[in-house]
Structure 1
Amino acid sequence: MIQLIQASAYFQVVSLAAMVDAGLLPDADRRVLVLANGSQMPEITTPLRENPGFDALAARFDDVVDLGELLWPRRPGQFNPRNEELPLFEKLLRHRWNLGEERVSLVLESIQVNPAQAMARIFFDAPISVHSDGLMSYGPTRNKQSMQMLQRLRETIHIDLVPGLEPMLLLEAPVQRKVLGLESLAAVFAELAAGLDPAELDLPPGAALVVGQYLGSLGILDAAAELELHHRMLLAARDAGASSVVFKPHPSSGPTAALQLRARAESLGLGFEILDTDLLAETVITLMKPLVVISCFSTALLSARYMLGTPVIAVGTAELLQELGPYQNSNRIPVSIVDALLVQKLQTPAEAGPNDELTPLLRAVAYCMQYENLPGLRGEAAAFLEANYSRFGAHFKRRRLAALDLPPHWAHPRRRRHWGRRLQRRALRVGTRSLQRLARTLQEGASRASR
C-alpha cells in the first residue's frame, strides 16, 4: 500500500519526521510526502523544500511531491474539484506521482478544509489517519463530517504539547488516539540544530525572544491593536530582566510591523534585533537559549516550556478571548489553553492527575463552540459553568451562554433574555397564523372537491 502524507507547513514536516521515527504512522510499502503550502501568501514565503534541514527530514520518506506546483497558479487551499472531476484528478495524481493502480492510504492534517478534504474525495475509498502538529487538535471538529468520511477515519496522531491532555478533534468519531511524546519531537529539533552554527545567527546572549503572530493578517486584530500587543510584549521582556529583544516575525507577516516595533523597543531602552530566518522558533530556542520566550498564544510557548524547559510569558490572551469572533473561531481553544496554563496557572492534566481543571474547562468551551456536533457534552458543560463560572468566565461569552440556555443564568444579558422571549412569542404568533392559513386552504380545497 502507498501512503500519501500531506503537510502544509514546515513544523508539520518536522512533526511527521518525528512520527516516522517513533513508529506512529500506519504501516505502508511506500511513503510519499505531499507538500501543500498553506501560507496565506505562498508566492512570497520560502518554499517548504528550501527550509533549512529539509533534506534530512525528507530522507524519512520514499518520495516527496508538491501539490502546489501541480495546481499552480491555483493555491492548494483553493483546490476543490467538482464531483464529476474526481476520477480525472485521481488519474492525474496517480500518473504524476507514480502511484500506478496500487491501493492508497491517507495521512491528512485537517479533513475539514481543502486540500485535505479534496484528497479524501479523490481517493474515495482510502483509509484516513489525521495528524496534528499544533494546539487546534485539542479543539472540536470545525464542520460536521459525512457518515462516509467518519467511517473511513482510523486514528489521530497528535503531539503531546499539553502533557496528558486528550484532543477533542473528531471526538464524534470512534478513532484511535496516538500520541507523539515531546522527547521524540525534541530529538528531531536537536538534529536540525546540530547542523547549524549558532554564531551564524549572531544572537545576543540573555535576550528575550518575542515570537510574532499574524493576528492582523487573519483579521483578529487591526494593525494598531497588534502593534500595541507587541509593545506589551516588550514591556514584559523588560520586566523579566532582559536588556535586549530578538523579534521573530511570523513568516506570513509583512515588514512594517517589525520596523514599528523597533522604534518602540528603542524608546524603552531595549536592544532590538529582527530575526530574518526560516528556522522554526523551536530551532532558534534550541540554539539561542533565550532568557524567556514571549508571545500571545503561539504553539512555541508550550513547546518551549514543556519540551525545551525554557521560561515563557503569554501576553494578551484575556483580551483576545473576548475579541475572537465568532465564538466558534478555531483559535479559541489554543487561546484558552495558553491563558489557562500560563496566565491562570492551571496545571496540565499530567501534573494535576485527578484534580485536573483544564480538561473540563476546554470541554465546556468546546460544547459552546460546536454544540450541534457535541450534544453529549451539554450536561458536563452546564455543571462546570454552574460551579466555576466566577473563575473562568473570561473563556465564555454571556450572549453565547444565553443563546444556549446555560448557567449561570444571572450572567445572561438582560436585554438578550427579553429579546429571546419576544422572539419566542413572535415565532408562536407566526406559527399560529401559518397553521390557520393552512387550515383555511384545506377547508376550501375540500369544499371545492365536494361540489
Structure 2
Amino acid sequence: MGTREHTRTQIFQVSTLYGAATLAAAIDIGRFGRPGRSSRSGAAPGNIRRVLLVSNNAEIPETALRLDTMAGYERIAGRFDTMIEWNHTIRPNHPATWGPRPDETPLWQRALRTAWGLGRGPVELIVESIQVNPAKALAAIFADSPVQVYADGLMSYGPTRSELPQSIACRIQRLLHLDLVPGLRPLLLSEYSVPAELVPDGAFRAVLAEIAVCAADDPQVTKAVEAAPTALMLGQYLAALGILTADEEEHLHTRMLRGAAAAGHRSVLFKPHPTAPARYSLALSEAAAAAGVQLTVLHGRLLAETLYERCRPGLVVGCFSTALLTASAYYGIPIARVGTSTVLERLAPYANSNRIPLVIVDHLVPDLESGAAPAVPGAAPSTLGPLVRAVGYGMQPNLHPLLRDETAALLTAATGDGGGTSRYFPRDRLTELGLPGGTAPSPASRLRRSLVRDRRG
C-alpha cells in the first residue's frame, strides 16, 4: 500500500493509434516525466505509473476495429504499465454519451481507484477532446486532478467545440499538438489561455517508423509493397458523418482515382476508412479498370503513415484527412485534394468541428482535378492564420469575441475577391452574426445582438 500512496498515476485516454503515437512521442522526449519504457513492475521510471485508457468511440463499438488489433499497437502499449478498456469499465453505456451525474462523481472516483489499483496517490489526466465524453467524464470524476490535452490532428487549429465548465477549464495545464502546418497556432483552448506546446517532428516521426517496422510482416503491407504504388488515396467515410450520401462519397473516391490516373499514376493504393462499406472497393475497381490503373485496396489494421514508410508513394490524395498533412509535413510527399468545394457547401452546422480542417486543406493543398501540380505545402502562408481565426470566430463567436473586428476587416477586404475568401463564409451565417457580406439585419435580430453585447459588457 505504501508504494501506491507515493506513486503518481498518469491516465492517458486514447481512441486512435495515431493519438497513441502522439503520446508515445511526447513520453519519449520526457514531456510526462522521465522517459522510458514500462518495466511492467507497477510503475514507470521516476515513481510514475502510466495507464493507457483505451476508448472505442465508434457508433457500434462491438463491430468496429479495435485499437489493440492495429499493427504496431504492442510497441506503443509497451510505454505504459497498464492498459484498461474504458468501454468495459462503463458498459453497457457508450463512451461518447455517458457521463456521471454530479452527485455520483465521488462514488465513481472511489470505485475507479479501487478497480484500477490507484490507491490514494495523485492522478493526472491526459485526454483528447476535453469538451466531450469520455474526456469530460474523466475530468468530472477526478475532480481535483490536473488535466493536459493532446490533439492529434488538424482539429487542434480550430476553436473549442463548446464552453467548458470553469471547474474543468481552470485545471487544463497545456495543449500538446503536432506541427502539421508549421507556423499556424491552435485556436483550441486559447480562450482559456492554455499554452500550446509542440510535439517535435523528429520524435513523432521516430514513433511512426517504429510502428512501420512492427508492420513489416503484415500481409497487407507485403501486398502494398508488391504493387509498387506511386499514389495513395485516403478514404474518410464522410457518409457516416452525414456530410455526403454513400453514393456521393463513392463518387468522390472514383474522382480521386481518375485524378491520379490523369496525373500519370498507374499503380494506386486505396486505404478506406475502417468502417467503409465494401461496395466502395467494387466501384473503384470498375473505375480503375476503365482508367487502366492497377488498384490495390487495403482494409483494417494499418495506419496510412505505415504505408508512407513502406511504399514511399509519389502522391497522396484525399479530401481533408489529417493524414494528407502528415504525408507532406513528416515525409515530404506531394499531396493533392479532391472534393473540398462540395463538402464546404454541405457541411452543417457552421460550427461543425470538421470545418477548420476542411478550410486548411482547401486553402493550402492543390486541387487535383483543376490540373494543379501536387505539392508539399510547407509553412503556413500569411493568409492562413487570419483566415483560420476568422472562420473560428464564425464558428464560436461567444468564445472568441475579441476576434470580431479582425474578422470584419478580413471580410471587408475580401469583398469582390471572386469567391476566394468569401466562399468560406455563407451569407446566412454572416447575416446571423451581423458581419460584412451578410444581408441587412431585421429589427428583431438587431435587438438580439444588442442584448448579447449588453450581457457581455
TMscore range, shorter length:
0.7 to 0.9
Sequence identity percentage: 41
Query: In 1, Cα distance between the equivalents of 2:427 and 2:76?
Result: 47
Matched, 1:240 2:263: yes
Partner of 2:32: 25
Deviation at 1:362, TM superposition (A): 0.2
Contact 1:136 1:333 in 2 (8 A): yes
Tell me if 1:54 matches 2:73: yes
Question: Where in structure 2 are the equivalents of 1:363-382 lying within 5 Å?
Answer: 363-382=389-408
Larger Rg: 1
- The aligned amino acid for 1:351 is A
Count of paired positions:
418
C-alpha spacing 1:423/1:10, structure 2 compared with 1 (3 Å):
same
Q: Measure the CA separation in 2 of the matches of 1:112 and 1:426.
A: 31
Structure 1: distance between partners of 2:376 and 2:31: 23
Query: Is 1:393–2:422 an aligned residue pair?
Result: yes
Q: CA RMSD in A?
A: 2.3
How far apart are the structure 2 equivalents of 1:268 and 1:109?
42
Q: Secondary structure in 2 aligned to 1:131?
A: strand
Q: State the shift of 1:393 in Å.
A: 1.5
Query: Which position in structure 1 is the counterpart of 2:167?
Result: 148
Structure 1 segment 10-159 matched on structure 2, within 5 A: 10-25=17-32, 29-159=48-178
Please name the residue that 2:354 is paired with: 331
Q: Is the 8 A contact 1:348 1:356 kept in 2?
A: no
Structure 1 residues 348 and 162, CA, compared in 2 at 3 Å: closer, same or farther?
farther
Residue 285 of structure 1 corresponds to 308
1:437 alignment counterpart = none
* Alignment counterpart, residue 252 of structure 1, candidates 259, 275, 282: 275
CA distance, structure 2, for counterparts of residue 174 and residue 322 of structure 1: 33
Q: Secondary structure at the match of 1:193?
A: helix
Greater Cα shift, 190-199 or 286-295 = 190-199
List runs of 5+ in structure 2 lacking aligned partners. 1-7, 35-46, 449-457
Distance, in Å, in 1 between the alignment partners of 2:446 and 2:17 is: 54
Instruction: Please state if 1:3 is matched with 2:10.
Output: yes
In the alignment, the residues of structure 2 paired with residue 74 and residue 259 of structure 1 have an alpha-carbon distance, to the nearest angstrom, of 36
Runs of 4+ in 1 over 6 A off after TM superposition: 347-350
Q: 1:424 to 1:30 in 2, by over 3 A?
A: closer
> Is the 8 Å Cα contact of residues 349 and 356 (structure 1) preserved in structure 2?
no
- Superposed CA deviations along residues 314-356 of structure 1, whole A, max 9, x for unmatched, are 11112211210011100000000111110389x999736xx62
Letter in 1 for 2:16: A
TM-score (norm 1): 0.87
- Superposed CA deviations along residues 386-440 of structure 1, whole A, max 9, x for unmatched, are 2235231121111111221212xxx43xxx53xx42645999xxxxxxxxxxxxx
Rounded Cα–Cα distance in structure 1 between residues aligned with 2:137 and 2:376: 36
CA deviations 1:46-76 (Å, max 9, x no partner) are 3212221212111112221111122233222
Q: Answer yes or no: is 1:357 the counterpart of 2:364.
A: no
Q: Which amino acid aligns with 1:325?
A: A
Answer whether contact 2:332 2:376 (CA < 8 A) is retained: no
Contact 2:252 2:338 in 1 (8 A): yes
Q: d(CA) in 2 for partners of 1:276 and 1:8?
A: 18
CA distance in 1, matches of 2:297, 2:191: 44
Could you tell me which runs of 5 or more consecutive residues in structure 1 were left unpaired when the two chains were aligned.
Answer: 428-451
Residues 1:405 and 1:20: Cα distance change in structure 2 (over 3 Å): same
Instruction: Please tell me whether the aligned partners of residues 349 and 359 of structure 1 are also in contact (alpha carbons under 8 angstroms).
Output: no
Structure with the bigger percentage of helix: 1
**Alignment equivalent of 1:178, drawn from 197, 201, 205:** 197
